[in-house]
Amino acid sequence: AQSVTQLDSQVPVFEEAPVELRCNYSSSVSVYLFWYVQYPNQGLQLLLKYLSGSTLVKGINGFEAEFNKSQTSFHLRKPSVHISDTAEYFCAVGSGFNKFYFGSGTKLNVKP
């Protein structure tokens, strides 16, 4: 079975600073990787996904993530965060047979 680890449950950062949210997964087979964002009292929105090809994936709202197969990581980055990026971020792994596994989430708190 797959597992997804988001080591940081909370990440405080000042506005306009860079941020990296970490995600590691365990898998011995090909996987597909996703980042979702959840704003308070809302559902999850897809930020970006990696299926194949270039290991650097660009998503919405200026976010990007890099797939590192050797380190089994898919960290999410943004060079300059805004107050509006305050939300919870979930990393997910999809495998064959349409199964998806989610991390426990990282709450990003952007301070002015």
Partner 1 sequence: NAGVMQNPRHLVRRRGQEARLRCSPMKGHSHVYWYRQLPEEGLKFMVYLQKENIIDESGMPKERFSAEFPKEGPSILRIQQVVRGDSAAYFCASSPPGGSGNTIYFGEGSWLTVV
| Binding-site member from 51, 56, 60, 83 for partner 1 (CB under 8 A) | 51
Stretch that binds partner 1, among 18-26, 37-45, 70-78, 79-87 (CB under 8 A): 37-45
> What contacts 21, CB < 8 A, 6 or more positions away?
6, 8, 11, 35, 75, 76, 77, 89, 91, 106, 108
d(Cα 78, Cα 98) in Å, to the nearest integer?
Answer: 29
CB 71, min distance to partner 1, A: 22
d(Cα 13, Cα 46) in Å, to the nearest integer?
Answer: 22
| Binding-site member from 92, 93, 108, 110 for partner 1 (CB under 8 A) | 92
Residues in the site for partner 1, rule: CB under 8 A?
30, 32, 34, 36, 41-46, 49, 51-52, 90, 92, 94-105
